[in-house]
Structure 1
Amino acid sequence: MYLRSLHLKHFRNYQAQSIEFTAAKTILIGNNAQGKSNLLEAVELLSSLKSHRTSRDRDLILDGELFSQVGGQLEKDTGSIELAMTLRQNGRRTVALNSISLRRQLDFLGTLNMVQFSSLDLDLVRGGPDQRRQWLDALLIQLEPIYAYVLQQYNQVLRQRNALLKAIQKSAAHPPHSSSSELALWDAQLAIAGSRVIRRRARVLDRLVPFARSWHQTISGSTEVLEIRYASNVTADEDTPEALQQAFLEKIQQRSLPEHYQGTTLVGPHRDEVDFTINQTPARQYGSQGQQRTLVLALKLAELKLIEDVIGEPPLLLLDDVLAELDLNRQNQLLDAIQDRFQTLITSTHLGSFDAQWINSAQILEVKAGTLLEQESF
């Protein structure tokens, strides 16, 4: 797939900007806080309907304006697709494909596939388990857009169950057993929805691991062995939905007293972990900074390959000021892997990280205070 153009209006620090992408690689250069990352954020929105930088639409709207618009022309094997999104200060957003408004935003997902790699992703290994769950969920939504609905269902049940547990905890007049029938209903729904999440996460990780291990071996010079494991707090002896749901309910029973004491749900995929080990050593606690960066780079390259295999087309690659965080060897591994195979938008404060071949084959845009200027050469 190829993003032919991007159109912004009142988005972040852009008043009005249209970009025609004329090469497989586009380098966005400029000083910090000029709007380079904002351009990648706009593409991220067209892909995932989310920004990793904010959860509030009003943060994406130019100061003093009531709305912002992001649009793009995407070329796929199946034809050309026009994507459009309007964000409003009142929080109501709308999306459209080929000028047709969609009633369900879920139908927008899966149209534009991309892999994003920024300096924030380096916390994927050393950060908390919620970051790894979010990373896995975002990948799953790209591969199976219906997973967004599966995850939404689970989170709704989780919120309702937590509200009931909190009410039971606060009400001295209603001991836990008096609400057992109502809680049992939420237990059953949690087990069904949670099992769907767990099975899908484990399945996609099984597909990603071989690619990640191969890349990790290449980048590390075959000196390290990477292992990745989905560590769920609910496991079953048999790999069936029914067996997992039964194990889920049994685990809830085992944790019922701590749940009532704490007033929150302690069982389910919202508490799961993704374990990374390098040479049988936990990467989070004991991996060096270099090892952790090699691991994240291997994961991102594996994402590219997995999405391409599943979707049948190479996804876009967004690199947000990440080269400055990698040493020369890892920079070269990344740039060599990209070549012209993936359309790549890459931000940088200078061109020193790129060799002459890269620069000569790339479209170079200077970003300055929310405006773009195309550069012929440097």
Structure 2
Amino acid sequence: MYLKNIHLYSFRNYTDQTVQFKAQKTIIVGNNAQGKSNLLEAIELLSTLKSHRVSRDRELILEDAQTGQILANLTRSYGTSELALILRSSGRRTVILNQEPLRRHIDFLGILNAVQFSSLDLELVRGAPEVRRNWVDTLLIQLEPVYSHILQQYNQVLRQRNALLKEIRKRELANQNDKTESFSSDVSQLNLWDHQLAETGSRVTRRRARVIERIRSLAQAWHSSISGKTEILQIKYLPNVNWIEDDPIQVQQAFLEKIEQRRLAEQQLGTTVVGPHRDEIEFTINHTPAKSYGSQGQQRTLVLALKLAELKLLEEIIGEPPLLLLDDVLAELDANRQNQLLEAIQDRFQTLITTTHLNSFDPQWLKSSQILSVEKGQICH
């Protein structure tokens, strides 16, 4: 997989910029806030249709512009693809593959595969559970694009069910005269949403469990290598709904049983407390929670092992190496971890690295890399 070029139009701080990639490794150098990370973010958007930095498209578009565009040409083992993403300040997007607008965004996913590693990824260890859920979900979207639709369905059911629980709570507090009649109607509606939550939620949790199972051994092998076999990494998936056998009917039944157990709590709180939106992923080093007790060095080793495991898993499943996007992380790693990372990359993955200075790179790396400099949204070759 090789990204040949990318064109940014009214994207972030880029007015009109084309970049041709001429080597397997590209180093993008410049001071902070010049546009280095924005270039990698554009590639991330073509890969997952998501940005890990912002949630609204308005923030991705150049100030005073109404639309922004990202265009790219990608070569894969089966041929060349032309990708285009049009962003609008209204939030409506258009995705185009080989000059054909796609009706479904899901058909755009899985064309360009990339693993992003930035200093923000340390939040994977020390951040809130939502960060770890987003990490697993983003990986799954690349491995199995239909997961994007499954997750969307679950979130839609969750919103509708929460709205109903909120309404039930409001009515109970108001103590209306027709309480008996409305209560009967509410229970009937809630029962319908219970089954939909169980059905969509079981699809999410089963896929998360599978991908954690697959990435665990890869991450453990990398972690052992980087730490010099002095530390043992464990990764545990802690689903909000416990289930044993990966069977759709049994998992749905486990959901319905837990919903029944938490019925009173949900009605009192006016929100859904059962489901994968409350899942957790636990990392432990030598049987100690990495979040609470891991040193900064241990946390960096863990995140590096996870990212290298992502690369390996994507390569195994899609059949060719994905792109690797390193956003200002070399400065965060000590010499040993830098060497482990650079040794793992070599020339196997097309790699784009942002940095504020070049002196942390091996001379051989500099010699074999394309070096671009960025200043105020202008890239010079």
Mark yes or no: TM-score above 0.5: yes
Partner of 2:255: 248
Local SS of the residue matching 1:111: coil
1:93 aligned onto 2:93? yes
Distance 1:373 1:182 in 2: 60
Local SS of the residue matching 2:302: helix
Counterpart of 1:3 in structure 2: which amino acid?
A: L
Partner of 1:282: 289
Instruction: Give the percent of matched residue pairs that are identical in Structure 1 and Structure 2.
Output: 66
Local SS of the residue matching 2:243: coil
Alpha-carbon offset, residue 237 of structure 1: 3.8
Q: How does 1:25-174 map to 2 (within 5 A)?
A: 25-172=25-172, 173=176, 174=179
Partner of 2:326: 319
The count of aligned residue pairs is 374
Alpha-carbon offset, residue 90 of structure 1: 2.2
Local SS of the residue matching 2:347: coil
Distance 1:30 1:227 in 2: 38
Distance 2:213 2:118 in 1: 24
Q: How does 1:192-341 map to 2 (within 5 A)?
A: 192-341=199-348
Superimposed CA distance per residue, residues 16-50 of structure 1 (whole angstroms, 9 cap, x where no aligned partner): 11111000000000001111011001101111111
Distance 1:304 1:367 in 2: 27
Counterpart of 1:153 in structure 2: which amino acid?
A: Q
Deviating more after overlay: 90-99 vs 184-193: 90-99
Partner of 2:192: 185
Superimposed CA distance per residue, residues 208-235 of structure 1 (whole angstroms, 9 cap, x where no aligned partner): 0110000000000000111101101212
Alpha-carbon offset, residue 57 of structure 1: 1.0
Superimposed CA distance per residue, residues 75-123 of structure 1 (whole angstroms, 9 cap, x where no aligned partner): 0001000000111122221010000000111110110000000000011
Structure 1: which 4+ aligned runs deviate by more than 3 Å?
A: 174-177
Q: How does 1:328-367 map to 2 (within 5 A)?
A: 328-367=335-374
Local SS of the residue matching 1:290: helix
Q: Identify unmatched segments of 5+ residues in structure 1.
A: none
Alpha-carbon offset, residue 149 of structure 1: 0.3
Distance 1:264 1:111 in 2: 37
Alpha carbons of 1:27 and 1:237: their partners in 2 closer, same or farther (altered >3 Å)?
closer
Distance 1:53 1:212 in 2: 25
Alpha-carbon offset, residue 292 of structure 1: 0.8
Alpha-carbon offset, residue 236 of structure 1: 2.4
Counterpart of 1:134 in structure 2: which amino acid?
A: N
Distance 2:205 2:245 in 1: 14
Q: Identify unmatched segments of 5+ residues in structure 2.
A: none
Counterpart of 1:86 in structure 2: which amino acid?
A: I
Local SS of the residue matching 1:336: helix
Local SS of the residue matching 1:72: strand
Distance 2:81 2:134 in 1: 28
Distance 1:278 1:147 in 2: 30
Local SS of the residue matching 2:7: strand
Alpha carbons of 1:95 and 1:177: their partners in 2 closer, same or farther (altered >3 Å)?
same
Distance 2:130 2:91 in 1: 25
Local SS of the residue matching 1:239: coil
Alpha-carbon offset, residue 372 of structure 1: 1.1
Alpha-carbon offset, residue 177 of structure 1: 4.8
Alpha-carbon offset, residue 56 of structure 1: 1.2
Distance 1:61 1:42 in 2: 11
Local SS of the residue matching 1:250: helix
Alpha-carbon offset, residue 238 of structure 1: 2.9
Distance 2:371 2:233 in 1: 36
TM-score (norm: length of structure 1):
0.97
Superimposed CA distance per residue, residues 284-339 of structure 1 (whole angstroms, 9 cap, x where no aligned partner): 11111111110000000000000000000100000001111111111111111111
Distance 1:259 1:325 in 2: 43
Local SS of the residue matching 1:345: strand
CA RMSD, Structure 1 to Structure 2 (Å): 1.0
Superimposed CA distance per residue, residues 179-231 of structure 1 (whole angstroms, 9 cap, x where no aligned partner): 21110100000001000000000001111011000000000000011110110
Counterpart of 1:114 in structure 2: which amino acid?
A: A
Partner of 1:9: 9
Counterpart of 1:99 in structure 2: which amino acid?
A: Q
Counterpart of 1:346 in structure 2: which amino acid?
A: I
Deviating more after overlay: 55-64 vs 161-170: 55-64
Local SS of the residue matching 2:83: strand
Superimposed CA distance per residue, residues 243-299 of structure 1 (whole angstroms, 9 cap, x where no aligned partner): 111011000000011111100001100000001111111111111111111000000
TM-score (norm: length of structure 2):
0.97
Counterpart of 2:322 in structure 1: which amino acid?
A: P
Distance 1:177 1:67 in 2: 48
Local SS of the residue matching 1:171: helix
